[in-house]
């Protein structure tokens, strides 16, 4: 149950687009479309942002989108806004009926 690999930090200016990668293995991301993403602001509980690789729950802005290729999933945020500054975590279901998170990525809006 090794953690998925995410970049420690990414940054972008307001209005720009950024992409956060999440790399796993053939036992998790590579085998399933069961990838999800979570946003966490400081001192707050995580918020559910994306499921099934690219689906958005009701109420999540369409500026957030997800994709997957091979063992790597990605979260793209377009039209960056100051309120997007937060930590982002990916997660995947695994072949051993467990769940694994990425280490988290800190997004800074410049």
Q: What does the angle CA 104 – CA 61 – CA 23 come to, to the nearest 5 degrees?
A: 30
Q: What does the angle CA 10 – CA 48 – CA 57 come to, to the nearest 5 degrees?
A: 115
Listing DSSP states for 20-82 in one string gives: EEEE--TTTTTT-S-EEEEEE-TTS--EEEEBTTTBPPTT--TTEEEEEETTEEEEEE-S--G
Q: Between 35 and 109, name the residue whose CB sits nearer to another protein.
A: 35
Q: Between 43 and 82, name the residue whose CB sits nearer to another protein.
A: 43
Segment lying near another protein (by CB under 8 A), choices 10-18, 45-53, 67-75, 78-86: 45-53
Q: Between 80 and 104, name the residue whose CB sits nearer to another protein.
A: 104
Closest approach of Cβ 51 to another protein, in Å? 5
48-87 positions binding another protein, by CB under 8 A: 48, 51, 57
Q: Between 14 and 57, name the residue whose CB sits nearer to another protein.
A: 57
Residue 10 found at the interface with another protein (CB under 8 A): no
Whole-number Å distance between alpha carbons of 99 and 103: 13
| Residues contributing to the site for another protein (CB under 8 A) | 1, 3, 34, 36, 38, 40, 45-48, 51, 57, 89, 91, 93, 97-104
């Amino acid at each position: 149950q090794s953690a998925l690999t995410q970049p420690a930090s990414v940054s972008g200016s307001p209005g720009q687009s950024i992409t956060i990668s999440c790399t796993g293995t053939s036992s998790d991301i590579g085998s399933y479309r069961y990838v999800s993403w979570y946003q966490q602001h400081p001192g707050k509980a995580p918020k559910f942002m994306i499921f099934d690789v690219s689906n958005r729950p009701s109420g999540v802005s369409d500026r957030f989108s997800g994709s997957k290729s091979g063992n790597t999933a990605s979260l793209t945020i377009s039209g960056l806004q100051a309120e997007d500054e937060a930590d982002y975590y990916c997660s995947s279901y695994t072949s051993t009926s467990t769940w694994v998170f990425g280490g988290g990525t800190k997004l800074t809006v410049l």
